[in-house]
Amino acid sequence: MTVAKGVLYGKLLDNNTYGISFEGATTPFISFFYSLKETIKGNVNLGSTQKDIFYESIEKRPKKTKIIYAKFLDNKTADVTVIKNHHKKAYLLKSQNGLFSPLSLYLFFMSNKIEMNKTYVRDVVVTKHLYKVAITILKKTTINLDKLGRKKGKRDALEVELRFYKVEKNGSVTKYKKVKKVIAWISTKPPLIPILIKSWNFIGFFSARLTDLKVLH
């Protein structure tokens, strides 16, 4: 059963800066029992030194609105504002390893030279907490995006595993139990973006599939 649908948009703002936005919501039937709408926006510069500019997440439920806004001051520091039902708190997050937004995490392959069977680690700002994400390129493969399995849906891709860890206040790192496993398939043809994502978490199974791509010149 499809419980939610969403659309991801990407736009090249200048030679290196991408504007990314996502809008999603539970389907009408599911919304009768559990309603959720989510909007995500962000700008990412993929120049010689990848840098996030801002990241915003707005989560709306019948009796609760949660807004996360992160302004990246430089590659290692971000101002984060969390608003829950009009109650605002501010945080300053730092990482000597570099800070990234969840959106730039999936643009990783557009700006980095990668090696097979190698694991890359990124510190990611999601809420007021910092998370470490380990990205491992597993193998080259071919997948089919067509629901009927027709030949036109075949795509060459890199199969990638993402593992999530929470960074505690004392600096220790623990496995993030809410996300059990994420597998993404990245197109081997430009733009090198995810064309299929599957996630197993504490509430069940989630998948996202590329259905349309328009490259504007």
Task: Kindly state whether residue 215 falls inside one of the protein's structural domains.
Answer: no
- What is the pLDDT, as a whole number, of residue 72? 95
Return the minimum-mean-pLDDT range out of 42-51, 139-148, 151-160, 205-214.
205-214
- What is the pLDDT, as a whole number, of residue 203? 61
- What is the pLDDT, as a whole number, of residue 215? 59
- What is the pLDDT, as a whole number, of residue 202? 66
Task: Kindly state whether residue 157 falls inside one of the protein's structural domains.
Answer: yes
Task: Kindly state whether residue 34 falls inside one of the protein's structural domains.
Answer: yes
Task: Kindly state whether residue 168 falls inside one of the protein's structural domains.
Answer: yes
Domain count, the chain: 1
Task: Kindly state whether residue 217 falls inside one of the protein's structural domains.
Answer: no
pLDDT over 70 at 5, yes or no = yes
- What is the pLDDT, as a whole number, of residue 204? 67
Task: Kindly state whether residue 216 falls inside one of the protein's structural domains.
Answer: no
- What is the pLDDT, as a whole number, of residue 138? 92
What is d(CA 209, CA 8) in angstroms, rounded to the nearest whole number?
A: 10
- What is the pLDDT, as a whole number, of residue 102? 87
Domain range for residue 120?
A: 4-209
pTM of the entire predicted model: 0.83
What is d(CA 163, CA 132) in angstroms, rounded to the nearest whole number?
A: 8
Rounded average pLDDT over 124-129: 88
pLDDT over 70 at 45, yes or no = yes
pLDDT over 70 at 175, yes or no = yes
Task: Kindly state whether residue 20 falls inside one of the protein's structural domains.
Answer: yes
- What is the pLDDT, as a whole number, of residue 216? 55
Rounded average pLDDT over 158-185: 86
Q: How many CA atoms lie within 13 A of 13 on its CB side?
A: 13
Q: From its phi and psi, is residue 117 left (phi > 0), alpha (psi between -120 and 50) or beta?
A: left
pLDDT over 80 at 128, yes or no = yes
Task: Kindly state whether residue 21 falls inside one of the protein's structural domains.
Answer: yes
